[in-house]
Structure formats: C-alpha cells, structure tokens
Chains A and B, each alone.
Chain A
Amino acid sequence: MAECPSRFTLVQYKSGDLSEVETRALDEHVVGCAACQAKMRQIEANLAQYGPKQEAFSAQLISRLSTEKPSFTLFPKRVFWALSFAGAAVTVVAMLISIYPGKEQTVQQQQTKVRFKGRVVMRAVAQRGTDQFVVEPNAKLFPGDALRFIVTTSSEGYLSIFSIDSRHVIAPFYPDSDPISDPKPMVVKSAGRHELPGSIVLDDAIGAECIVTAFSRKPFDRGAVHERVRRSLWFSQSRVPGPGETKPDVGLSVLWINKSL
C-alpha cells in the first residue's frame, strides 16, 4: 500500500472491520509509516480513555433501553421516496400518453425510417488553479483538476460523457445522473461545436482512466453503452478503439488520462 489510508480506514482497521487481505496490507503499511502511526496513537489514546468506563456506561445504557420504545417505519425513507416518485412518474406518463397519443407514434415512425451513424469529436480543457490547458491523450492529471468539455457533432442527436477507471467504476459526467434510474442521454439540438455547461472536478481515484463520449442521432440506453465499453477488448487493453471495433449505432470518442497524486 503506497498511499496512506484515510483516518476512517484506520478506525475500521482498529475495530477489526476490514477483511483479512486489507488488514494484512495495512499491517505492512502502518509499520513503516510515521504519519499513520501518529493517527493510530491518537485513536488508541481515546479508546484507552473510554475503556475503563465502558462497563459502567454499558450497564447504564441497557437500563435506559428497557424504558425505550423503538421507532418503526413502514418503509425506509429511501424506499418511501422511491415509491412516491415512481407513482408520480407513472401518473405523469399516463397523462402525457392520453393527451398526446399521436406525437408518440410520429417519433416511433421517424425512428424506423432512418439509419443512424453518429460522429463526434471531443476535446477536454483542464483547469488547475489559474492554469488552463488542453488535455492531450494520456495526460497526467491530478484529483481536483476541473475539466470542461467541447464536443463537435455531425448532426443533432443524443450525447453522453462518462469516465471508466481501471477498477471498471463508471462516473457519469453528462448527464451526471445515475444511468440505472435515468438511462437517457442528453439532447444535442444542432450539429456543430458545443461547449458543455459547468465543469467536472476529478475525484481522488488514482490510475489510468478512460473518458468516453458517446453520440448517436437516435436515443440510446446509457447503461447499455457503459456495459459495452466495460466488456470491450480495446478497454481491457487500455487503448482507443480501432476501426470496426465499435458498433455503428453509437459513435465513440475516447480519451485516456492518468491520475496521480
């Protein structure tokens, strides 16, 4: 383990919450790291302070629990909101279909008549402090660098930008919503150069990362594109896709970066 673990990881280590493999890795790191040893000493000092009183506090707590009543909720908060939202969404969709049945058919008809081929070029500009620079392939970037994206498309259509790291973890950039609950890409209303709003601040995951821009003239499922990239040969070999390696329905523009501390 080259980097120092977070303090919370040290707390998990101390309380025996880590797996055997993680514990072994930390054992080795802590032995040779003065900073982590200092943090461990502080955690241990507080544990030692509480230790002698633990029995008394435990007894006091148990006696208080006997007079307490647990609070029950029918659903956890998250499930409650998810169900409420799903209900509301179904109602809205039902209303829209009943109001505009003709329009839905027109979109479907249009989709079956056209054969699509998406073309997209993506450029990223990084901002580090007051410096700005164009991100070249395999550029060395740091956590906290902010990226702005400029895409040029061959037509109007649908766009999604996301990153995928060496652990296959996907971070959606545009749109930044969860692709499972919201699989739709963002809409590009015209052909040409588009500077995307806002910026993306790079997180603290270190290593090679692949930034993928997906574009198509017809709507596509972002989750399916993520999965396609995850399983692709070119991604597993840490390179950009060659001719014929991507499916023609969704065009991809790929930029590899290296994040380090």
Chain B
Amino acid sequence: MVPKTDARGITDNRTNADERVRTIEMLHRRYAGIIYDLCVRILMDRQEAEDAVQETYLNAFRFLSSYRYGDSYLPWLYQIATNVCLKLIRTRKRKGTTPTDNIDRMATEQDDPLSAIDTRRILEALVGGLDKRSIEIVVAHYIWGMDQGQIAQTIGISRRAVVKRLSALKRRVDPLFVKELRHG
C-alpha cells in the first residue's frame, strides 16, 4: 500500500511497521530538541527531561494510530510529552523525591521571567486537585505559552470551553505563579 501524502507533504505513515519506525525517526530528528525544551520547562531537570523525550517518542510509536492524518505533528507530540511529564511529576510527588538540578533559574532568568518560576512545584501542587483536562490546559497556557485558539485546536475542545475553563482556573493558578515569581 502506498502511503497518502497531503498538500503540505505530510505522509500518512501509519500503515506499515517499517514506515512507522521511519516516521518516529523523522519526528525525532525534526522535533526532539523542541520537545526537550518543553520537558525542561515542566520538569526543571535536564536528566529527567532527556528520559521524558525518549518516553514521549516511545509513546508516539505506540499510539501513532491516534495521530489525525493531515494535522501538524507538533501539537500531537506536545500533548504526549505533557502527559509523560505529568506522570513523572505524579510519581515524584508520591515518592517525595526532588529534581537533581535547578538549571534554568541560573542560565536564563534574565531573558525570560517565566524561567525563574519553578513550574514543577506549581504542577506538583495542582496534580492532586485538578482533573487531567484542566492540568493539560494549565500546561498549554502557562508553560507552552499557547493562545486560546491554539489550546482549543491542540486539546480538541471548543475555544469557548477553553475560555470558560481558563477563567475558572485562573483564580487558582495565577496566585501560585505570582508566589513562585516572588520566591524565585
């Protein structure tokens, strides 16, 4: 079977085992650095971020059939990576472990105030109390820096639903970020 290719040159490579491996290899070559950037921002630990990138691509291979042919791969990978990172944070919280380094505070906090925020600590505070969809919206808005339209498209809910959820979440999440900024 010849894989389909759409107008933007994206090929539907989900049908054949070798093609699936080649697709993941291509996605790793193209996006691994970007996914690493996301994982570092969530986990605040380079070693864990490297592991999370590998786990993201393994999950992408396992669930390649869930990718909607024709869409951009990046939001799909972002969502997988977020779930991998949140799982790591839950595990960490359960075991009571802390990350080994505190990199971005030192390296780039002059450039971007958000890098001075310990997002890991905020997410640890939220994972027990919010449902999975709300956490995904928090990460997409505060950490990915997506606008409402991008969140709606990536998570697969209406823009109105994003606005509603964000409005309800802001009262809870904004103070955590403000507190963290002062702390940082």
Contacts and interface: CB of A to CB of B under 8 A. Distances in A.
Interface of A: 6-12, 14-15, 17, 38-39, 41-43, 45-47, 49-51, 53-54, 57-58, 60-62, 64-66, 68-73, 76-78, 144, 146, 169, 171-173, 176, 178, 201-205
B46 A17 contact: no
Contact of A70 (B53, B57, B61, B144): B61
Interface stretch (B89-97, B123-131, B153-161, B175-183): B153-161
Contact of B20 (A9, A41, A70): A70
Interface of B: 17, 20-21, 24-25, 28-34, 36-38, 40, 46, 50, 53-54, 57-58, 61-66, 68, 72, 74, 78, 104, 107-108, 111-112, 115, 140, 144-150, 156, 158-164, 167
B54 A72 contact: no
A49 B108 CA distance: 13
Contacts of A17: 72, 74
A203 B166 CA distance: 10
B147 A61 contact: no
B34 A201 contact: no
A98 B58 CA distance: 51
B77 to A, nearest CB: 10
The list of the 6 closest CB pairs from A to B, nearest first, reads A7-B145, A46-B37, A38-B111, A47-B33, A50-B36, A201-B167
A38 B110 CA distance: 9
A70 B68 CA distance: 16
A66 to B, nearest CB: 8
B62 A70 contact: yes
Looking at chain A's contact residues, the main secondary structure is helix
Given A6-B146, A201-B163, A39 B112 contact: yes
Given A11-B34, A12-B74, A61-B54, A41 B25 contact: no
A178 B158 contact: yes
A176 B160 contact: yes
A41 B37 CA distance: 12
A201 B62 CA distance: 39
B170 to A, nearest CB: 8
Given A6-B146, A61-B25, A144-B167, 14 more contacts: A6-B150, A8-B150, A17-B72, A46-B40, A47-B34, A50-B36, A54-B33, A68-B61, A70-B62, A72-B65, A76-B68, A171-B159, A202-B163, A204-B147
Contacts of A11: 34, 37-38, 74, 144
